[in-house]
Amino acid sequence: MTDVSALPLAPKNPLSIRQLLRAVRNLDAGQEVLRDAGGTVTRIQFGPKWLAPPVVAVFSPSGIRDVLGRNDAAAERCVVHEEVQHLGGDSLFVLRNEPWLPRKRALQPVFTKPNVRNFGGHMSRAAQALCESWPDSGEVDLDVDCRRVTMRSLGRSVLGLDLNDREDVIAEHMHVASAYTADRALRPVRAPRWLPTPARARARAAVVALRSVTADMLQACRADPTLDAPLVHALLAATDPETGRSIADDDIINDLLIFMLAGHDTTATALTYALWVLGHHPDVQDRVAAEVREIGDREITPDDVSRLGYTVQVLHEALRLCPPAAGVGRMAVSDFAVDGYRVQAGTLVLVGIYAVHRDPDAWPNPLEFDPDRFSPEVAKARDRWQFIPFAGGSRSCIGEHFARLETTLALATIIRAMEIKSVDDDFPVEVPFTTVAKGPIRAEVTTRK
Ligand code: HEM
């Protein structure tokens, strides 16, 4: 057992306050700035503790394990989760560890690998509809189109709704709500919540609109148990296996909203980046196309995923280079050890997913796109904590199987039908909350013969 009190604090990051502020607000590449200046566990203090809590940023696989892999309650939800909770109510994403456990027990069965297979049809058909909307030959915007695909498939899978022409409106509401929460969460000093601001009013109105769509669906499912909305019915039927308690309607609405919010931009970014990067690597793209062609012309289903090993490797490599969640935060509620340093209670701990995915000590030629890093033989030798797009430990992503299935079916469906050539050399991003493309991401598409 380590005597935590005897450990030193992590070294203070030597950057100036201005440089630190810029790095922390730049949630992806800023991590590398912090690490290069201060090491893989680095302490940041923006001012007196009563004004801004100390921050420790962690970028090493072993340090990340010490934060996310713990099975005690020392690492809690942080200001990011609190801001989301304030706007969107008690959902699985925001609940503190104790009230979270029964909710997780009730929801987990809905998201198991076998259960998410039921949504495979929506996922493949949304991607097929996209291919049919594309010209035989011409320019498209991968960013806009992948967002539509993921919104359509999420709407159908999560809410049981054909969003049709409402897709863009719903996506805009979600964007307004998440940009507001992220902006507040990332300020070292925040205005009080009671202060009315236009941004707050817009975010509240967006949540009210989203809740109303979700609440209508819940009522419709209560009234008609045969309605084709399996996830809503599953939440209505879900109970905590230990207490037998079901989930209150308001909390079901909160969870449905958070699934839409946590599942949309993230999955869209993974798919957009994968298509863009394939558009620069015709050899890799041909290999994916050849693998998918083996399946034939019919709809691609979850049963086919075992035959799409290389396509999955491409997606892993896309998630490594462009992790849709660039980092996650935790609040230390008691002192604990991270890589031999003491993290004090009251510290905001930032886990740098982006930086560990590009760490030159963990990945040879980290900036190179090379799906063979994820071949079964190479992957076996890897540290579990150096590739964490869905985080890790008990509070890892509940939608992981869902997202993996969706991106695999969509990528396979699109590459089987269309050849992609990326027009732009760069993939610009912004990180309002999760990482999203700063579109347009242009590509020339041509129907495959
Ligand atoms: C490529 C797609 C996705 C990525 C990269 C991703 C990533 C993550 C990460 C890193 C976390 C941990 C966040 C934290 O601890 O603060 C998380 C949590 C979560 N994700 Fe995802 N996610 C994806 C898709 C989805 C989907 C499709 C859903 C739902 C349908 C979803 C629902 C959630 C929820 C509810 C949590 C909170 C889990 C808990 O605290 O128990 N995510 N996700």
Ligand 1 lined by 155 (C-beta under 6 Å): no
pLDDT for res 164 = 64
| pLDDT tens column, 345-398 | 999 999 999 999 999 999 999 999 999 999 999 999 899 999 999 999 999 999
Choose one of 322, 397, 408, 433 to mutate for the ligand 1 pocket test, by most ligand atoms within 8 angstroms of C-beta: 397
Q: At what angle do helices 282-293 and 249-278 cross, to 10 degrees?
A: 120
Residues belonging to the chain: 449
Is residue 38 within 8 A of residue 19, CB to CB? The reply is no
Q: 56 has which bridge partners?
A: 43, 349
Spell out, as residue ranges, where the chain has pLDDT lower than 50.
none
Residues 385, 263, 404, 447, CA torsion sign: negative
Ligand 1 lined by 256 (C-beta under 6 Å): no
Within 10 Å of residue 351's Cβ, how many Cβ atoms? 26
- Determine the longest span between alpha carbons in the chain, in angstroms: 67
**Residue of 329, 383, 381, 393 whose CA lies nearest to 356:** 383
CA of 92 to the centre of ligand 1 (A): 10
Which residue has a Cα nearest atom 20 of ligand 1?
397
Ligand 1 lined by 349 (C-beta under 6 Å): no
pLDDT for res 392 = 97
Alpha-carbon distance of 49 to 62, in angstroms, equals 27
CA of 267 to the centre of ligand 1 (A): 10
| pLDDT tens column, 275-299 | 999 999 999 999 999 999 999 999 9
Ligand 1 lined by 92 (C-beta under 6 Å): yes
HSE-CB for 347 with a 13 A CA cutoff? 27
